[in-house]
Amino acid sequence: MNRLSGKTAVVTGGNSGIGLAAARAFVEEGARVAILGRRQQAVDAAVAQLGSAAFGVVGDVADLSTHDRLVAEVRERCGAIDIYMANAGMNQIEPSPAVSVASYDAQFDTNTRAVFFGVMKALPLMRDGASIILTGSIASAKVLENHAVYAASKAAIGAFARAWALEFAARRIRVNVLSPGPTDTPILAKLGVAEADRPAFDRGMAAAIPLGRLARSDELARAALFLASDESSFVTGVNLRVDGGIALS
């Protein structure tokens, strides 16, 4: 349908999982896409999947100089930004008494500080009428065991979106949050779910989710595409939960 024809999108954490799926959806709808990831090999592999409409920048979002390089690269190659998806994030599951200062800082640096300053650095390059999508989490609405710091870092994302929806309204820039529920992505392994334990894990999660299964990355990507496109032209300041209803239970 070419809903994003002629537009430029930036996706942080775009080399895997939800970010890669969103980048793919944007490319398929005609956008030029810049993805940001921490590892050169993963970024190169993602760009190879996405094709000639995509290019990659390597860096850690927690390092604010990364955002300067990202914006400079997009300015040189594309001139402006129409869609900015702040998707990169991290989670360390641990009870609050066990949280170290380093763990706390790492989560807030990546999930909160990087989002704020990433958007601020990209804002001058954004066209009027652009769409900003912030990847949140249902943990900000539903209490999950041993997620206190992660939940707090993601709750701030909602505050940013509500404030920015008003601050940027004069330029018709829309700002929304996309909050995934449990999703079948490589991050599950990073969180310690071994492949041998996946069937039991999936059954347990399915029992907790009203729709009875984990989400697929492409389902989150379609929601991101809605928020990125003119189909959501009168939507701003909302938190779109794509969670199978788990936040209700």
Neighbouring-strand partners of residue 138: none
Nearest to 90 by CA among 64, 66, 63, 108: 108
- CB-count burial class (<10 Å; 0-12, 13-18, 19+) for 220: buried
Q: What share of the chain is helix, strand, coil (3-state, %, to 5)?
A: 50, 20, 30
Question: How far is the first Cα of the chain from the last one, in angstroms, to the nearest whole number?
Answer: 36
- Between CA 163 and CA 202 the distance in angstroms is 37
Nearest to 207 by CA among 151, 241, 249: 249
Residue 104 bears catalytic tag? no
CA triplet 162, 164, 169: central angle to 5 degrees?
110
CB 38 within 8 A of CB 59: yes
What 3-state class would DSSP assign to 221? helix
Q: Among the options 150, 160, 164, 226, which is catalytic?
A: 150
In this structure, is the dihedral angle defined by the CA atoms of residues 37, 181, 23 and 150, taken in order, positive or negative? negative
Helix axes of 114-122 and 148-167: crossing angle, nearest 10 degrees: 20
Secondary structure letter of residue 183 according to DSSP: B
Secondary structure letter of residue 243 according to DSSP: S
Annotated active-site positions, please?
A: 150
